[in-house]
Structure 1
Amino acid sequence: MFISSAHAQTAPAAAADSGPFGAIGSLLPLILMFVVLYFVMIRPQMKRQKEHRAMIDALAKGDEIATAGGLIGKVTKLGDNYVSVELAQGVEVQLQRTAVVQVLPKGTLK
């Protein structure tokens, strides 16, 4: 009624023949999305992880740190996986190294 049967039969053939880049052209948007996703999300996250790992490896006795839980203290002992932190005079806790979020400038704690 609206479309003649001859015209309707040639439409899929014309859509499938989209030039020399037929199959690659249909995958191009997907590939482009992955490339953008890599540069916008994956690469910066890997960079942050690398910087955090370097900060944790560089911890030294006497560093003033902030933890993921919001505690602020001074490093007193270092282990392979754990760190002892003095929160106040006579109050010492053990934390996982990965809980350290930031190394504070010297003299932050009084």
Structure 2
Amino acid sequence: MLISTAYAQAAGGAGSSSELFATLFPLVLIFAVFYFLIIRPQSKKMKQQKAMIDAIRRGDKVITAGGIVGTVAKVQDGGEVQVDIAENVRITVIQSTIASVISKTEPADKSANDDKEKDKKSKD
């Protein structure tokens, strides 16, 4: 006969731990690369963006996501910001649509406010 007899292969066991490691290692390595190159930097960037948006105050010069450049006139409750974009032109935008802050205003000096209050009291 020209055709040899085929025998069934014996059932394989669970395999050794080195085989299991060799099959799972590439998956773990891929996840680690994705985490350090994509997920982690993106979450840091999102945290910085949120902190920047939360720190917006009156007088800050901002750029909206639509490309409108203006100065913050008023920060309202509910996540809205009124922005002056030209003389006598004020628009209301959602605070989360602000893409970046060009220039920040200096916070009011607390000692200067205290001096003004003292002057008012001394005049009375």
| Corresponding residue for residue 84 of structure 1 | 82
SS of equivalent residue, structure 1 residue 61: coil
| Corresponding residue for residue 104 of structure 1 | 102
SS of equivalent residue, structure 2 residue 17: coil
Aligned identity (percent) is: 38
Q: Look at both structures and tell me which one has the larger radius of gyration over its CA atoms.
A: 2
Q: Residue 23 of structure 1: CA displacement?
A: 1.8
Aligned mates of 1:86, 1:20 — CA distance in 2: 66
- Calculate the TM-score normalised by the size of structure 2: 0.70
Query: In structure 2, what residue type is equivalent to 1:20?
Result: S
| Corresponding residue for residue 95 of structure 1 | 93
- Calculate the TM-score normalised by the size of structure 1: 0.78
Matched, 1:40 2:42: no
| Corresponding residue for residue 20 of structure 1 | 17
Structure 1 residues 23-72: Cα deviation after superposition (integer angstroms, max 9, x where no partner): 23211111110010000100011011000001001101000000100000
CA-based RMSD: 2.5
Aligned mates of 2:20, 2:63 — CA distance in 1: 53
| Corresponding residue for residue 75 of structure 1 | 72
Aligned mates of 2:17, 2:52 — CA distance in 1: 52
Aligned mates of 2:37, 2:27 — CA distance in 1: 15
Aligned mates of 1:59, 1:100 — CA distance in 2: 10
Q: Residue 82 of structure 1: CA displacement?
A: 0.6
How many positions carry a matched residue from both structures? 101
Matched, 1:52 2:49: yes
